[in-house]
Each structure stands twice: as C-alpha cells, then as structure tokens.
Structure 1
Amino acid sequence: MTKIKVGFGFDVHQLRQNHPFVLGGVNLEHTSGAYGHSDADVMLHAICDALLGAANLRDIGYHFSNKDDRWKGISSLILLQHVVKLIGEKGWKIGNIDAMVCLEAPKINPHIPAMQANIAQAAGIDVEDISIKATTNEQLGFIGREEGVVAYAVCLIQKD
C-alpha cells in the first residue's frame, strides 16, 4: 500500500534596491531583489519547507541556519537537492509540487518554464509534476509597496 503525505511551505523575504533577484533558480532582471542569508530564493525556500514538513523533518531554518556560514550566499537549488536527499533517506519520493509567488513586479510568467526545469533537475522529478503560479497583492501592504515577496508551496510525497 502506498503511503502519501502532503506538506505546506511559506517564506517571505524583503526586497532591496540594486540586489539580485533569484526566483526558482532564475536570475530576474529587476531594480530590486530578495535579500537573505542564502540567495533568498523565496519560492525554493517555501518548497523546501513543504517537503521537510511532509516528511516530518522540521523546517528549512533547522537544517540551513542563517547563522551558519556554510549557507551564506548558496544557491537554493543546492538546498533543495539536500532536502530531496533527506526525504529520500526516509523512503519518500516527491509526487508533485505546487508553488505560488505573490509579488507586484517583475512579471514571472515568461520565466516559469526555466524555473520548472531548474526545480525538476534539482528535485529529480518531471517538469509536469511542478506547478508555478504568481499573483499580485493588488498594491496592498508590504507586497503592494514592493517591499517584500512571499511564496507558498504545497507538495505531495509518497512511499511504497
């Protein structure tokens, strides 16, 4: 009998002027970018948290502390690869990933195929098992003022 679990992830990062903006492993052209200890890829962080949560492996901060210099500036694709290894050690495989990014700008629609390809390669799953969507916050709150970016993710993991 196949056992399945779902996980939910959330992440938020502030935006800073003249800072790189990495999302889904893609460098986006924009006047500001997400700031954090690693590359601040908010979508990949939410995905990592969803996967870790589904496998009952705590959260991304537990595994990749922002006080640990090993993770300073690291690509979040590497963090995702590590998370996939951790859940695999417990016998879990990814069924699918569904991610939502909330930001006013830049528009990410043209970049979604590249993001899906990056995530698929890092996670060892098919592009068809990765959904990425985006919405704005209708110019409300810190997202609407372009002070920050938020991502949510849901995943399904399974084992036989």
Structure 2
Amino acid sequence: MGLFVSRRVPGAAMRWEYRREATRNGGERTRVTAELAADGWEPCGQWLASTYFKRPAAATVGPAAALASAPGRPRRRLFLSRRVRVGLGVWLLVVAGLVAVPATGGIDTTRSPFLAGLLVGAVAAGAGGVWGVRHQIIKGVEG
C-alpha cells in the first residue's frame, strides 16, 4: 500500500539521501545491505521487491547537510501514484458491478460456481496487479 515511515531524531535536523534497490528475496536483501553499509547506507523499509536505504547527506556533502530546523509534517499520510489510484478505482468499479448485477436479478446466482468465480476473479485481479508491480521493480522499469 505504499506505507513507508521515516522517523527523525528530535533536535537533529539534517538532510537525508534515499536509495531504492530491487531485491527478490531475503538472501539478496542481506547481500545488498552488507554491500551498501560500507558507504553509510542503512535499510529503512521494504515493499514488494524493493528495499529502501537512507544515509545522512553529510556522508557526501559534509556540513552543508545541516538544516536550521526540521521540515514540517507532510499533509498526506498515504502516497499512491496516479497510476495506482486509477487502477484501484477501476478494480473497485468492476467488483461493484459484479456484485450489483446478480443483486438486480440479471444473473442466476443459485449455482455456487458463479460465486466461486466471482471471488477467484476479484482475487486474481488484485494479485495480478501486485505481481505486475513486483515484476516491473525487478526489471528496473520505472513509470
């Protein structure tokens, strides 16, 4: 769902650098983490096939990384791309339509295969979307 939390130390305002690496499994994640640790990167989150790292900007720009005051809280709590929001909206409309049509008597739902198909279709659509995002991350496709 794009949930990513980064906490700052109170009273220590500084700039941070962030990096995302594609990692397929725990072993690869451990290897990448060990490689990046030498340059000051520390893991700060993971989602699907991505592992996120952070390090103080002072590691590359020195004292210029210091800030006079910490930035304010973001207005939004959840950050989803336009593409994800549109995909979720379309998926919800399809599921709502599949539920509404039988409710109006347009389809005979007395047979259990229909309901099983409805459930399998909804789950498959959601899982297919997650698989697609994961596949694009691993291939390095941005967009």
Structure of greater relative contact order (alpha carbons < 8 Å, 6+ residues apart): 1
| Structure (1 or 2) with the larger CA radius of gyration | 2
More strand by share: 1
More helix by share: 2
TM-score computed with the length of structure 2 as normaliser: 0.25
TM-score computed with the length of structure 1 as normaliser: 0.23
